[in-house]
Amino acid sequence: AKRMGKNNYQFYEKRSMEQINDRLELEKDLRKALEREEFILFYQPKLDIFTGKIVGVEALIRWQHPQKGMISPAQFIPLAEETGMIIPIGEWVLRKACLDAKAFREAGFPPLVVSVNLSLQQFFQPNFSQMVGQVLTETEMPPELLELEITESMMIDTHHALMIVRELRKFGVRISLDDFGTGYSSLHYLKQFPIDKLKIDQSFIRDCLVNSNNATIVKTIIAMAHQLQLEINAEGVETKEQLLFLQQNDCHEVQGYLFSKPLPIEEIQANFDDIVKA
């Protein structure tokens, strides 16, 4: 390795320069993406596990980049967080989700709960809850139909986070805890936070039938949610066997590729009856 050291060094240096340039370029594009209307929301149906009926949808953002094509949130949300762009983007997501929900109701579909993901920066921005209140009013969104998905990472700043969650709940919106089980101190926070729902992280669902530890974890989380009188959602459900396992263990709500991937709102409308039958 030593003999090749020099070349390696140049190689890596070149590559990292490329990476820095890619990032800078993406950052530049990200700053323009909002005004150029390059973001779109997809919606993944959430189903009642026993009736099989669609009870809600989760809004998931995509970036339609003019050259690079569809960019997933995993690729640009972290960048948006680091650059502060998440504040206007997050507000756009909330407003758009509420407006889509309104159009959906006005088209004669039954009222569905719409969930929106929040990011850390956005959640702790000054006047965040006021912004939510304003969007609710502006879009005539029934607050009980809006679910905000928070993560354990926000709960670390417990005092501050509790204050915000309480302000949000005063509006009457629902709060769910996303990616449950992946944080490091879940149980400690669970006791303290007034939330409505736990979403079991999809990593546990993925292997729940092949890995007995994961099966135990899923069963335990569901049982605990029942004890705490919290609703429980399992995401990333891909097989009938996983669904059966979750039904046997009294999970309430499911979402995953088994039923539907995230879709544009028009496709949810067009396929609504099929989704209900899934």
Among residues 117 and 129, whose Cβ is nearest to ligand C2E?
Answer: 117
Choose the one of ligand C2E, Ca ion, none that binds residue 262, judging by a C-beta under 5 to 8 angstroms depending on kind: ligand C2E
Among candidate residues 179, 278, 155, 152, the one with its CA nearest the CA of residue 234: 179
User: Mask 121-160, x = binds ligand C2E (CB under 6 A)?
Assistant: ----------------------------------------
> How many Å apart are CA 98 and CA 188, to the nearest integer?
32
- Nearer Cβ to ligand C2E, position 93 or 155? 93
> Is 207 one of the binding residues for ligand C2E (CB under 6 A)?
no
> Which of ligand C2E, Ca ion, none does residue 134 bind to, with CB < 5 to 8 Å depending on kind?
none
Element containing residue 132 per DSSP (H, E): helix 128-138
Q: Does residue 149 interact with Ca ion by CB under 5 A?
A: yes
Catalogue the E-assigned strands of 127-173.
146-150
Which CB, 39 or 189, lies closer to ligand C2E? 39
Strand pairing of 253-255 and 39-48?
A: antiparallel
In the complex, the smallest distance separating the C-beta of residue 39 from ligand C2E, rounded to whole angstroms, is 9
Which tokens sit at 147?
């679910």
Element (H, E) at 197: strand 197-200
Q: What is the DSSP string of 69-95?
A: EEE-HHHHHHHHHHHSTHHHHHHHHHH
Our CB check for Ca ion shows the closer of 117 and 122 to be 117
Residue 179 within binding range of Ca ion, rule CB under 5 A: yes
